[in-house]
Amino acid sequence: MDTPTDIVCLQRLGSLADGTARYAVPRYKWYQLAKQYPGLLKRLFGRTYIDFAIADEIVNNLPDYRAAPAGQRGHLANMPEGTKLSKTVRDARAKRAAADAAQGQ
C-alpha cells in the first residue's frame, strides 16, 4: 500500500520586503551582503529579488554565540556563565522566590 508523501514547497525568490520580514535584515544590509555573496540578489522585470536558498545558507553558516570571543560577550545579559541579569529576569526571579517562600510557610 502506498503511503502519502508530504511535499513542502518553499519560496525560492522574494522581494526585499519579504527578505526583511523573513530574516529581520534591513534593506541596505541586503546590498552589502550581495557584494560578499554573488547571486544573492537577482534582477527580474525591473525588480530586485532575494534568492532565499543563498540567504538560508548565509544564516545557517553564522557562528554560534558561544564561538564569539569572551570580550565580545561580556556585555550580554542572561548568559549561562555570566552574572549580569536583565531587569525583567531579575524581577521574575525575585517574584518566583517570593512565591516559593510564601508557599513554603
What are residue 102's DSSP bridge partners? Answer: none
Q: What is the mean pLDDT of residues 36-63?
A: 90
Please report the DSSP string for 14-68 in residue order.
EEHHHHHHHH---HHHHHHHHHHSTTSEEEETTEEEEEHHHHHHHHHTSPPGGGS
Contact 60, 50 (CB under 8 A): no
Each residue's pLDDT tens digit, 3-31: 667 766 667 889 999 999 999 999 999 99
Question: How confident is the prediction for the chain on average, in pLDDT?
Answer: 82
Please say if the pLDDT value at position 72 is more than 80. no
pLDDT band at 42 (very low <50, low <70, confident <90, very high): very high
Task: Compute CA distances 52 → 16, 58, 73, 81, 89, whole Å.
Answer: 11, 10, 30, 35, 35
| Band of residue 33 on the pLDDT scale cut at 50, 70, 90 | very high
Given a cut of 90, is residue 76 above it in pLDDT? no
> Is it the case that residue 87 has pLDDT exceeding 60?
yes
Q: Per-domain residue ranges for the chain?
A: 7-62, 70-105
Please report the pLDDT score of residue 81 as a whole number: 62
Q: Is the pLDDT of residue 59 over 60?
A: yes
